[in-house]
Structure 1
Amino acid sequence: MKTIVLLFLASLVAVCLSSGIQDSPGVFVEREEADTLVRPKRAATELTLTQLESLMEVCEVDVACESMMDTAGIIAAYTAHYGPIPF
């Protein structure tokens, strides 16, 4: 059994080396390419009224979150007290 696994791994290495796979470019990519790979953060204007109301209901339970909601807004208050918005 070990011989079969070793033979398979050796053939896999041989195929990879013979296929001419180039080295990866590294960890740095151009900004345009990165923009297509990484999903942009959601803006506050993309939330519907129903979603904003559900955030307000969660935030109203906590007094500190509710007072921050009155001064800084619901998005900032929810994010500060409960983390990123789940939707």
Structure 2
Amino acid sequence: QKGIKSGVRKVNIDTDNRLAITAAIREAAYADPTNFDPRHFMKPSIKYMKQVCSDRYEQFWCAGQASKIKQVSLEDYAAKYAKGELNQVAAAV
């Protein structure tokens, strides 16, 4: 949250999701080591990952903001890239 207040606008949570998936798989494997069906592992993995995402949305003050997201087609994005509109811009320090 301190980073966001300081201007950080992109936060990666992939590692958190991977850890959640790994925890769910380990728990499922420990609970029933004879069941090696991937679906047995994936159901709890998805549940854990959804919880991580939900928690992070709350922590990063993103919850309830979905209505502000505007849909942009791939064609429109391609045009923006071609015009240089999506080039990275470094903040002045």
TM-score, length-scaled by structure 1: 0.27
Specify the structure having the higher radius of gyration (Cα): 1
Q: Higher helix proportion, which one?
A: 1
